[in-house]
Structure 1
Amino acid sequence: MSRVFTVYNCGTGFNRTQTDEVVANMASRTSGAENRDWMVTDGVGQAFNTPGTFDPITGKKNVLGHMDERAILVALGSISGWGWEQNERHVWAVISSLISGSSAAPDTINMVGWSRGAITCHMIAHALAKTPQTRHLKVNIFAFDPVPGPGNFKPDKITLATNIHDYSVVQMDNEQRWIMRPMSFDGISESDVHGKYNYHVLPGQHDTGVMRARGAVGMIGAGLAHAFMTRHGTSLRSPLSYTPKEYCNLYAVARLNILKYKKAPTNNRAQQLGGLATHRRGLAPVSTVPKKLVETEYFVNNHHAHMFRKAFPNVYMRLQAGATLTGMASQTLKAAAHMTHTSLVEAGLAA
């Protein structure tokens, strides 16, 4: 039986206490003992347990760990990502210790991270791949909107290591602030990660997909992450498990709010330096949806289309044939999935 160790990497400005954010929330739900079955790294740019203020091996405060310097270190973390190398070394040290000193050493490393925490997952995977005692480990990563930050587009941060077995990424469609430019996934195929590769585009800004309590997109993001981690052996207490119909209703809500998500927060002058207020994300297209439904721009992403086809096969076939959903078929769907029906009406596909 596979022995799994799970790593959670919080995003910039976030830490394990902020459980309204999906990464910290998942860590709080994970079964087993910390540093034996799972661990969490606090994000750079926050003062709860600032990365870089402790020795990554011993955990003791280092020479920079005095409270009078904390504000400077928090600012450095927010601006440059300072401290994430310590998080990388800390995770590597814990995993190496488990391998050398445990009778139940892990053979699989599952990781989930957001923002620079997602980039930290990449850094850790590269570190594990380079070291003889850890290069045999199989790595699975769920990444929320991987953003390195200005000056940090380095190979160990924006490429996927050869030890990655399964990689899923959520990228937010409407975040256009120049400081939030994500790593590029152009040209990455399944062969690049020696296994599965899933790309999910969701509407919203950088944090929309990780804040479950704030709306449907956050609930979709959390559901995708929970499903990925539990599928690979991470034990979560009360894991989220949505049915295809439940996913469709969540996507329907997201689609009905699509114009709200398209309003990019680029008014802050500090984020318009050099005229670089916005960037183009170059998101992967929805490529597996039949053309007639693509032309309606109804589906949010491929996952939405897949869930819709599973939940409502007869409706899917009717719409794919070019018919509008009317009469009894429309009323039946309305009774079974009100939000999905409402979103189809809004898209001109049902009456």
Structure 2
Amino acid sequence: MTVLTIFFCGTGSNKFDVTHENFWDGELVSTLAANHAGREFAEWIVVDGPGSGNLQADDLFTKTKEYGLTGTLFGKGWEENVRHAVNIIKGKCNWQREQLTEQEYNRLKAAGIPIDDVKVEGSWFWRKYNYGERSVTQQTLQEQIIKTFRKDGVIPTQVNLVGWSRGGISCHMLANAMLNDPQLKHIPVNVFALDPVPGIGNFQDQRVRLGANVKEYVAFFARDERSKGFSCVIPQTAVGTKTSIYPMAGRHATMAGNATAAGGVPTSSSDLKTFIEPGRVVRHFAETCLKRWGVRLNKTLNLSEADLLRLTGAIASAEARYKLMHKVSYTYFTELDQGERYVSLGSKGVPFSAVKGSIYTPATGLTTSVLELAAYKHLR
């Protein structure tokens, strides 16, 4: 039995954001991935988000290209990310990087990725530059790791998906890709999503609906986000899927560990830790769910009831300061729906607080008070 966990980073985010300067204790998805105690590729992978610089292009199990700004604006590259994840699940690549180009070499080198120096061959007049050629590719090595360390066959017996922003939407896309794949449709899937936001024009069914292969869906949504184009998706789940959705104080990046007053670039060293509480609470419940889903993690918070009361109490006390975030936007423009964040329930736009009902546990949905700790007990 092998439980595979796939971590999808958000737009512009990558696996190295565990030390990103905007996050006082690391961006949550990359941090959770770094703390996984299992064997990479066999038991877990982390996938860089759209617009993050393609630092993983050399390692992917499917061919991709540099999308640049279109990755950031429109999510270009996430389809390849999903295909890569499908191939990892199956343990078989459909493309291999045998030689780096100069552009790819320079990009990886500039980003500080460990890589061999360029080899200069021939005389000065006929000089050639070898940017790295492998007799054994990264993909071949990873395939062998999968074959060696996955128990009872290459196909895992359960898949957990974790994602923030477009990484959260990528979780939806992968779950649906698995459902439509004869080899993978039988695998139970669990999802933990952080404010899944697809971006303008990206509300197709595979991004806003989930099938019966998803057994549990847990997500937190940023209550105080008002950026235009940042409408989050509360997916339509299948009958029988245990669905738990919660509001969280702060902006889109706050729950992922950005604790600044405006949910963006810190204005000072002290601003870096202005609102640490939402990130702590969400991280705790992410770790709790993953452990319950069979994941071995290092460096977990293990918050007590008293810790949670202290953190949620601090959030409630700072209500007026969180409301100041409503005037700030990642895209220069803000949008409201009856004074609230505009969200997408499936493919239908509704006000934030309209998302509730008996299909959710708790039924209070996005109106759940952060102080109501009993509403989180079933996650443990």
TM over 0.5: yes
Assess if the C-alpha contact under 8 Å between 1:165 and 1:193 holds in 2: no
Q: Quick one: distance in 1 between partners of 2:335 and 2:28?
A: 34
Name the residue aligned to 2:61.
57
Partner residue in 2 for 1:21: 27
Unaligned runs of 5+ in 2: 19-25, 93-142, 260-272, 344-350, 358-365
Please list the CA deviations of residues 314-337 of structure 1 after superposition, one character each: whole Å capped at 9, or x if unmatched.
xxxxxxxxxxxxxxxxxxxxxxxx
CA distance in 2, matches of 1:260, 1:305: 20
List aligned pairs for 1:131-142, cutoff 5 A: 131-142=181-192
Q: 1:97 and 2:91 equivalent?
A: yes
Could you say which residue in structure 2 is the equivalent of 1:271?
Answer: 332
Further displaced range: 38-47 or 254-263? 254-263
Q: Distance in 2 between matches of 1:264 and 1:219?
A: 19
Distance verdict in 2 for CA 1:137–1:273, change over 3 Å: same
CA distance in 2: counterparts of 1:124 and 1:308, whole angstroms? 28
Give the match for residue 210 of structure 1: 256
Report the Cα offset of residue 268 of structure 1: 5.9
Q: Does 1:44 align with 2:50?
A: yes
2:287 to 226, 232, 257: 226
Are the structure 2 counterparts of residues 94 and 268 from structure 1 closer, same or farther at C-alpha, using a change threshold of 3 Å? Answer: closer
Checking the alignment, whether the CA contact within 8 Å between 2:224 and 2:341 is kept in structure 1 is: no
CA distance, structure 1, for counterparts of residue 300 and residue 52 of structure 2: 28
How far off its partner does 1:58 sit?
Answer: 5.1
Separation in structure 1 between the aligned mates of residue 245 and residue 376 of structure 2, nearest angstrom: 19
8 Å CA contact 2:316–2:370 kept in 1: the answer is no
TM-score normalized with structure 2 length: 0.67
Q: CA RMSD in A?
A: 3.2
Match of 1:256 among 294, 317, 335: 317
Are the counterparts in 2 of residues 209 and 218 from structure 1 also a CA contact under 8 Å? yes
Match of 1:92, SS?
A: helix
**What is residue 121 of structure 1 aligned with on the other side?**
171
Structure 1 residues 4 and 178 mapped into 2: Cα distance closer, same or farther (>3 Å)? same
Higher helix share: 1
Pick closer, same or farther for the CA change 1:196–1:36 going to 2, 3 Å.
same
Does 13-22 or 238-247 show the bigger shift? 238-247
On the 8 A contact 1:56/1:89 being kept in 2, the answer is no
Q: Tell me the CA shift for residue 261 of structure 1.
A: 1.4
Measured in 2, the distance between the counterparts of 1:231 and 1:256 equals 31
In structure 2, relative to structure 1, the CA distance for the partners of 1:286 and 1:280 (3 Å cut) is: closer
Q: For residues 256 and 133 of structure 1, do their structure 2 counterparts lie closer, same or farther at Cα, with a shift above 3 Å needed?
A: same
**1:53-106 Cα shifts (integer Å, max 9, x gaps):** 5685356xx6x4xxxxx5xx2211111000000110000001012799554341
Q: 1:174, 1:261 within 8 Å by CA — same for their partners in 2?
A: yes
Q: How does 1:1-351 map to 2 (within 5 A)?
A: 2-19=1-18, 20-47=26-53, 49=55, 53=57, 56-57=60-61, 64=65, 70=66, 73-97=67-91, 101=147, 102-104=150-152, 105-184=155-234, 188=236, 192=238, 194-211=240-257, 214=273, 215-264=276-325, 266=327, 271-272=332-333, 279-281=341-343, 282-284=351-353, 301=368, 304-307=371-374
Unaligned runs of 5+ in 1: 65-69, 289-298, 311-351
Residues 253 and 242 (structure 1 numbering): CA distance in 2 closer, same or farther, change over 3 Å?
same
Query: In 2, Cα distance between the equivalents of 1:279 and 1:287?
Result: 15
Percent identity between matched residues is 28
Distance 2:288 2:330 in 1: 39
Q: Counterpart amino acid of 1:38? A: W
Give me the TM-score of the superposition, normalised by structure 1: 0.72
TM-superposed deviation, 1:161: 2.3
SS in 2 for 1:113: strand
> Once the 2 structures are TM-superposed, how far is the Cα of residue 306 of structure 1 from its aligned partner?
3.1
CA distance 1:245–1:193, change in 2 (3 Å) = farther
Work out the CA distance in 1 between the residues paired with 2:317 and 2:367. 11
Please state how far the C-alpha of 1:28 moved relative to its aligned partner: 0.3
Shift of 1:3: 2.5
Q: Say if 2:2 and 2:156, in contact at 8 Å, map to a contact too.
A: yes
Contact 1:286 1:301 in 2 (8 A): no
Greater Cα shift, 86-95 or 207-216:
207-216
Deviation per CA, 1:291-331, whole angstroms, max 9, x where unpaired? xxxxxxxx983563134999xxxxxxxxxxxxxxxxxxxxx
Verify the 8 A CA contact 1:251 1:300 in the aligned structure 2: no
1: distance between equivalents of 2:187 and 2:33? 21
Residues 184, 237 of structure 1: alpha-carbon distance in 2 compared, 3 angstrom cutoff: closer
Q: 1:74 to 1:193 in 2, by over 3 A?
A: farther
How far is the alpha carbon of 1:196 from its aligned partner?
A: 1.4
Equivalent position SS for 1:148: coil
8 A Cα contact 2:226 2:336, kept in partner:
no
CA distance, structure 1, for counterparts of residue 376 and residue 331 of structure 2: 45
State the one-letter code of the partner of 1:306. Answer: L
Aligned partner of residue 6 in structure 2, secondary structure: strand
- 1:269 and 1:238 map into 2 onto residues whose CA distance is 31
User: Residues 24-63 of structure 1, C-alpha deviation per residue, up to 9 Å, x if partnerless?
Assistant: 000000012211010000011112526xx5685356xx6x
